[in-house]
Structure 1
Amino acid sequence: MKTKLSVLSAAMLAATLTMMPAVSQAAIPQSVEGQSIPSLAPMLERTTPAVVSVAVSGTHVSKQRVPDVFRYFFGPNAPQEQVQERPFRGLGSGVIIDADKGYIVTNNHVIDGADDIQVGLHDGREVKAKLIGTDSESDIALLQIEAKNLVAIKTSDSDELRVGDFAVAIGNPFGLGQTVTSGIVSALGRSGLGIEMLENFIQTDAAINSGNSGGALVNLKGELIGINTAIVAPNGGNVGIGFAIPANMVKNLIAQIAEHGEVRRGVLGIAGRDLDSQLAQGFGLDTQHGGFVNEVSAGSAAEKAGIKAGDIIVSVDGRAIKSFQELRAKVATMGAGAKVELGLIRDGDKKTVNVTLGEANQTTEKAAGAVHPMLQGASLENASKGVEITDVAQGSPAAMSGLQKGDLIVGINRTAVKDLKSLKELLKDQEGAVALKIVRGKSMLYLVLR
């Protein structure tokens, strides 16, 4: 069973520290009775202050249709749905990536649906965190805290990783407290696991368990190489197969969230599949790695760059790719307008094309709290004449603002709202009270967000 690193409660135990015995350049010798032994302690002393615990709380809201027999007895005024609220708490991990701005990266599934997010720092301080934005398709979220004397982690070039490189995982498994484990990079470019929409995972055998979500996977220099995200856990625990989102993907996503409050996903405009042995044989190729292009969309970035159906894309910015899924994940985490160099094979000849990525049309927004604090708890979706409220969690800020399921947002103050993109642009620059122009049924009304 493949599972995200969900948080489980555990008995109070002392945090354990598993050290790697292998000698390396980063394993600085320590003198013990006149003999030198390797140790990762000096590197960890510099790195672990950048890894934090993330405690969340909120309310899960579930709705069940009231059976017809009960509606029969209670008449036409009987409720159609029964709403149940269930408080929840959870623990995960996070990584400080910018000490001056207080930015912390974690997994989206760690904070999803949370009303309150508290960050526990290495020195014992607890600080309330603000959600800047999320990307559910890649499972990344950006938080911000206000605190002094923070320590940020340095990020490595994850494209330089090789299978067999040493890896160290730092996180908060089972709520025990900060724990360090070690291993190697077991595989690169893992996809097709069904864990996320966009998959290009680093696989590692460093022990990772529930609660490590959002924690750091680092190299022996203490540089971030990935964000721990998921495990294969037939029995709910570590079996030596864990997955992390590569640091380069994280950097691209976080840069967009920090600037825009969202990911403005790049689009190439192709459909395709992995290059397998049968396709490779049919095209007379000596490689089985790459993405086979089945179709190129008219007017797309790919068509403008001269990519054609039947091309086999084998590299992105000079870095070889293994599969179409890896190509999709890399392109989708680059921002719209990014310039990308693609290496491809056409009719047995190698070519290079330069592409300027288009922008994906966003149609839904589940983390509406990142759009405006008083929209938290609402789900938004593009409609023909505005933005529709497709759901509102009971007791949420959105519900307290007066929003209801089925409402259509058509304006902000005196400006029309056409879609999610325009809604976000309008709310981004607004200060103080904001008036939402709402169509509800056949009526028009204004709701004020403060």
Structure 2
Amino acid sequence: MRTKFIAVLALTGLLTLGGSAQANIPFFSDKDETPTLAPMLEEVTPAVVNISVKGSREVRQRIPDMFRFFFGPNGPREQVQERPFRGLGSGVIIDAENGYVVTNNHVIDGASEILVTLKDGEQYDAEVIGTDANSDIALLKIKNGKDLTEIEIGRSADLRVGDFVVAIGNPFGLGQTVTSGIVSALGRSGLGIEEIENFIQTDAAINSGNSGGALVTLDGKLVGINTAILGPNGGNIGIGFAIPSDMMEALVQQLIEFGEVRRGVLGVRGNDLTPDIAKALNLDANQGAFIAEVVPDSAAAEAGLQSGDVITAVNGEKIRSFADLSARVKTLGVGKPFDITVLRDGDKRTFEVTLSADETAVEAEQLHPALQGATLAPSDGGGITITELEEGSMAARYGLRKDDVIVAVNRKPVNSVSELRSALDSAEGVVALNIRRGNSSLYLVLRGG
């Protein structure tokens, strides 16, 4: 029976993860040789923790027009209240010596108290080292932790569709729970879950409370941080998403070093490599990021990238789409060189690139009074993105929406905050913003500069 079971495992790929043999995985019980993952989980699960949080959040509620007369003609348009909240989630200890725990930003966002509970029931307070809302990653530090267990971080780049994985977390506050499945897809993006998306998709059951938990291979290596699901009413239907460990590790290194993620700008615009583009350029490839334009004086221009190049890999890791490229670039820090592999005229070439500093997001009111309530940041696809928008603000009343991209001011293209500031300063009287909203393009007119 044991020999037959090993043969089945080998045929299904269970003994092979990312192309390397895992013959040392203990699949059988010491007692009766029944199939089990228990020995691996006994090593790994102490590194997965439950997280409970307390805090308060600002809630804005618009005051109905019929009641505003009580406050006079210049009365407030909305009511602001602080409301307490509690939340539950999961986390993974990646550094036992320093007590570092990785979780999702949305698990601890706004929390004033964070309590970490280990598998054995020990509880410790934790503090926030740094967060990155765009990728939904947060790094915590356990205070005065003792006898902590860390998990070994694996290479998510080595994953293949069909590899078996195990999800560990705290669904619905039940306590530590383990589920299993396979890697259903890689490089998932365009879901609208986070600003930066390059997810591992899995059918391992992930539910509310699993956020921040571990996705591990059968040899007990962390390859993802469980983040989100698609399902009716928050229930599991076998479509879960995890942030790849390679992406998480690069972000965490910056959070440890700087307390924040310092993103750089590559300086290219383009789209996915399509069969039509590949045929037109006579390229032997069907996946990659096609460069339509290289921004002058950008990191890409300085490295020697050209329009017409197709980016196929970053640091040796395959690039499947332009969204994949964008996610990888936004994960890498400023000032650290990395390799980009491209196809040019049918030949494969590699260039060393060092990202130039990104301009930090700014409050748009600093640029124009009518933009009050909007927060802006450069977009990798060109233009300036509205990353945040206050409900009922001046910008909202002018018709702007979150995730709108300002591509031009009075028909003058803008691709950086400084260019936007210059265009607004030079505009006289009425300002016409050319907005890209999804697949649509429209103009909004601002007054009061």
TM-score of the pair, normalised by structure 1: 0.73
**Distance in 2 between residues matched to 1:324 and 1:316, nearest whole Å:** 12
**Distance in 2 between residues matched to 1:336 and 1:71, nearest whole Å:** 49
* Equivalent position of 2:55 in the other structure: 58
1:298 to 290, 296, 299: 296
Structure 1 pair 125/288, CA: closer, same or farther in 2 (3 Å)? same
**Distance in 1 between residues matched to 2:75 and 2:220, nearest whole Å:** 61
The answer on whether the counterparts of 1:95 and 1:214 sit within 8 Å (CA) in structure 2 is yes
Are 1:220 and 2:199 matched, yes or no? no
* Equivalent position of 2:342 in the other structure: 344
SS in 2 for 1:37: coil
* Equivalent position of 1:273 in the other structure: 271
* Equivalent position of 1:27 in the other structure: 26
Amino acid at match of 1:59: S
TM-superposed deviation, 1:350: 1.9
TM-superposed deviation, 1:391: 11
TM-superposed deviation, 1:63: 2.0
Are 1:167 and 2:136 matched, yes or no? no
**Distance in 1 between residues matched to 2:292 and 2:389, nearest whole Å:** 37
1:79-130 per-residue CA deviation (whole Å, 9 max, x = no partner) reads: 4432233321110000011111111000011111222211111111221111
Matched residue count? 352
Structure 1 pair 238/74, CA: closer, same or farther in 2 (3 Å)? closer
Tell me which moved more, 62-71 or 322-331. 62-71
1:88 to 82, 85, 106: 85
SS in 1 for 2:148: coil
TM-superposed deviation, 1:361: 1.4
* Equivalent position of 1:247 in the other structure: 245
Q: For the aligned residues, what is the CA RMSD? A: 2.5
**Distance in 2 between residues matched to 1:72 and 1:248, nearest whole Å:** 56
**Distance in 2 between residues matched to 1:152 and 1:315, nearest whole Å:** 31
TM-score of the pair, normalised by structure 2: 0.74
1:362 to 352, 360, 367: 360
TM-superposed deviation, 1:328: 1.1
The answer on whether the counterparts of 1:266 and 1:338 sit within 8 Å (CA) in structure 2 is no
* Equivalent position of 2:139 in the other structure: 142
TM-superposed deviation, 1:305: 0.7
TM-superposed deviation, 1:297: 1.1
Structure 1 pair 164/71, CA: closer, same or farther in 2 (3 Å)? closer
Structure 1 pair 344/79, CA: closer, same or farther in 2 (3 Å)? closer
* Equivalent position of 1:156 in the other structure: 154
1:229-284 per-residue CA deviation (whole Å, 9 max, x = no partner) reads: 11111342111111111111111000000110000113211111111122122222
SS in 2 for 1:36: coil
**Distance in 1 between residues matched to 2:273 and 2:326, nearest whole Å:** 14
* Equivalent position of 2:180 in the other structure: 182
The answer on whether the counterparts of 2:273 and 2:321 sit within 8 Å (CA) in structure 1 is yes
TM-superposed deviation, 1:77: 8.1
1:127 to 124, 142, 147: 124
1:162-193 per-residue CA deviation (whole Å, 9 max, x = no partner) reads: 12211010000111100001111111111121
TM-superposed deviation, 1:324: 1.0
SS in 2 for 1:331: helix
**Distance in 2 between residues matched to 1:181 and 1:37, nearest whole Å:** 18
* Equivalent position of 1:327 in the other structure: 325
* Equivalent position of 1:257 in the other structure: 255
The answer on whether the counterparts of 2:375 and 2:389 sit within 8 Å (CA) in structure 1 is no
**Distance in 1 between residues matched to 2:26 and 2:362, nearest whole Å:** 48
Amino acid at match of 1:349: D
The answer on whether the counterparts of 2:273 and 2:286 sit within 8 Å (CA) in structure 1 is yes
Amino acid at match of 1:317: N
**Distance in 2 between residues matched to 1:234 and 1:276, nearest whole Å:** 33
TM-superposed deviation, 1:381: 6.8
* Equivalent position of 2:307 in the other structure: 309
TM-superposed deviation, 1:140: 0.2
1:403-445 per-residue CA deviation (whole Å, 9 max, x = no partner) reads: xxxxxxxxxxxxxxxx9xxxxxxxxxxxxxxxxxxxxxxxxxx
1:112 to 109, 114, 137: 109
Amino acid at match of 2:165: A
Tell me which moved more, 237-246 or 281-290. 281-290
5+ residue gaps, structure 2 = 1-7, 16-22, 364-372, 378-387, 391-416, 418-449
TM-superposed deviation, 1:78: 5.0
* Equivalent position of 2:229 in the other structure: 231
Amino acid at match of 2:176: Q
Structure 1 pair 89/337, CA: closer, same or farther in 2 (3 Å)? same
Amino acid at match of 2:356: G
Are 1:98 and 2:98 matched, yes or no? no
**Distance in 2 between residues matched to 1:258 and 1:317, nearest whole Å:** 22
SS in 1 for 2:252: helix
1:45-102 per-residue CA deviation (whole Å, 9 max, x = no partner) reads: 1110100011112223222343444343444685443223332111000001111111
Q: Greater relative contact order (Cα 8 A, min sep 6): structure 1 or 2?
A: 1
The answer on whether the counterparts of 1:27 and 1:220 sit within 8 Å (CA) in structure 2 is no
- Indicate the percent of aligned positions where both proteins have the same amino acid: 59
TM-superposed deviation, 1:145: 1.1
* Equivalent position of 1:18 in the other structure: none
Amino acid at match of 2:321: S
* Equivalent position of 1:375 in the other structure: none
**Distance in 1 between residues matched to 2:250 and 2:311, nearest whole Å:** 21
SS in 2 for 1:159: helix
